[in-house]
Copies of this chain bind each other. A is one copy, B any other.
Amino acid sequence: MIKYPTKKGDYARPSVGVKNRGMALEKLIDESNAHYLREGHAVIHKKPTPVQIVRVDYPAREKAKIVEAYYKIPSTTDYNGVYRGVYIDFDVKETRNKTAFPINNVHAHQIDHLKAVDAQGGVAFLLIRFVHHGTVHLLPYQALKTFVARAETGRKSIAYDELKQEGIAIDVGYRPAVDYLRAVDALLKGRP
């Protein structure tokens, strides 16, 4: 599943990699989703950050100002939507670790949510970026769950090599920045 450069063209767009290096994966995904929406390829949005609102002032009529609020832990993943009639649901993760992705980066309620989505026939996965390698991988819930099960008694992380094996490598380019729907296509192809 590793994409080795096979032709000169693969080296011909280094500026993109450099430009994107400092950006969080979420920002690249948001850009990709805007691209997909514009082109009519998919309707996928990031959910708003959940906030517990405690106090609201009304300094002027019709203008509410929130003056006390706290971040809440999301009960689901951050992204969902529809692609060719299919429900898509995922969360985005990044690690600066060079050799492994620690499973405790994924909240228990997110795993529960992905499991419920998978059981309902949706496409559930994580997008994981290894910052040092500059690679992005789609890890389907079906593969994630075996690593989660292993973590109960054994290793608490997914080795980079395992992720390359069990995940699907995603092109990081220009438009869209992270073309993860190609990896979803590969997942859907394997469906009955």
Report A's interface with B, CB cutoff 8 A.
37, 40, 42-43, 45, 47-51, 53, 64-72, 74-76, 80-89, 113, 116-117, 119-122
Contacts and interface: CB of A to CB of B under 8 A. Distances in A.
A50 to B, nearest CB: 4
A75 to B, nearest CB: 7
A30 to B, nearest CB: 12
B42 A85 contact: no
Contacts of A116: 37, 40, 43
A12 to B, nearest CB: 33
Nearest to A50: B48
A61 to B, nearest CB: 15
6 contacts: A47-B48, A65-B68, A65-B70, A66-B68, A66-B70, A87-B122
Contacts of A121: 82, 84-86
Nearest to A74: B48
